[in-house]
Amino acid sequence: MTDAEQMEQARRVLVGGVNSPVRAYQSVGGVPVFVTRGAGAEIWGVDGSRYLDCVGSWGTAILGHADPDVVAAVCRAAQDGLSFGAPTPGETELARRLVERVPGAERIRLVSSGTEATLSAIRLARAVTGRDGLIKFAGGYHGHSDSLLVEAGSGALTGGHPSSPGIPAELARLTRVLPYNDGAALREALAREGDRIAAVIVEIVAGNMGCVPPEPDFLAALTEATRAAGARLIADEVMTGFRVGPEGALGRYGIRADLITLGKIIGGGLPMGALAGSGRDLDALAPSGPVYQAGTLSGNPLSVASGIATLDKLADPQVYTRLAGRTDRLAAGLEGLIQETGAQATVHHVPGMWSVFFCAPPVRNLEDVRRSRPQAFRHFFHSLKSQGILLPPSPYESAFLSLAHEERDIDRILGAARTALRTLPP
């Protein structure tokens, strides 16, 4: 069966043929690859096609696909039962690892997705501050809950709907949207109405408008201005947690947040999210406090087993040295190719994450990202795909490397990129 035939069948029973909008290839055109299996840095499609994978389950697969130790841990857990709706020792073990490694984490609440973690963080911040207002940054995607789907990145941008219908205007008015990487705008907003702001939520490294690293003044404003206003700083580390370093983006950039949301890697490929923070705040959640949050599958034993096995394999800091080195080499190679070919493009990267924007620098925020030429990205995407390399099918998504990507894979990406850049449309 071909991808096109599979898509035709899927559209009959699934909305748009997919279960998450960006998978539909609306931004790049064509038919999505229907994946049947993965191993290491590669995936296979229904028609037998084989691809070097730079999507990595949108950042989840830091070890690569079907890591034998993780698969074995999940199989052992499955033999004892799939779900109990009761406490298990594994939940405590996973939470202990998170408390040990996440800066500022004293308590953990396990949930089933990053979206659930961020919506719970906002509810908690509003409860403990007694305020309703929220500040986010244009292009930052923190899940599809109502308070957050305002000027959102990721699939919301790809689909051309920065704000979704169905969000009450009254709720949207509680969310202030500021430019990412603009410390002055944040200071001004908090000075003007800080007493009404419950929280500032941020992807420290933006990943849902492509990979855009933070600038020093912006990082300083996040911590200093938020603290001065008495608002909570929520660090959305769903994508960057345990990816950009052993302590995530918080550790990499040396800042502290009041609340931290996690997902993706901490489930090792199975559904998992977490809310972390101080005991002062987290103990306000039920059953210790009055702020209600619950979930039948929270702390699911299979996800917990997968997460523990993944984090144990990431315990050696040398794995991040290797990941950073390969990402640096890829980015340097791409920059060299841009100079060689004369392409108008900008490369950003942090360990394990990278993006090519088809516009001149600087690329600091969503306004800059929108200068990137969509037709150039479409060409780049399909050229690499035809050469057996799969990128995220949107110019608003970061691409990823895993620990399974070898030096020869970096060479392969660079070789394909040379071909693509030499044939870019004007």
Residue numbers annotated as active site: 141, 236, 264
Complete DSSP assignment for 209-251: TB-BPPPHHHHHHHHHHHHHHTPEEEEEETTTTTTSSTTHHHH
Phi, psi of 275 (to 5 degrees): -115, 125
Only one residue has tokens 């559209």, namely 11
Tokens (6 digits) for 118: 């961020």
Give, to the nearest 10 degrees, the angle between helix 216-229 and helix 183-193: 10
- Strand-strand pairing, 273-277 and 259-263: antiparallel
Strand partners, 206: 212
- Residue 104 and residue 255 in contact, taking contact as beta carbons nearer than 8 Å: no
Phi, psi of 392 (to 5 degrees): -60, 135
Which phi-psi region, left, alpha or beta, contains residue 151 (left: φ > 0; alpha: ψ -120 to 50)?
left
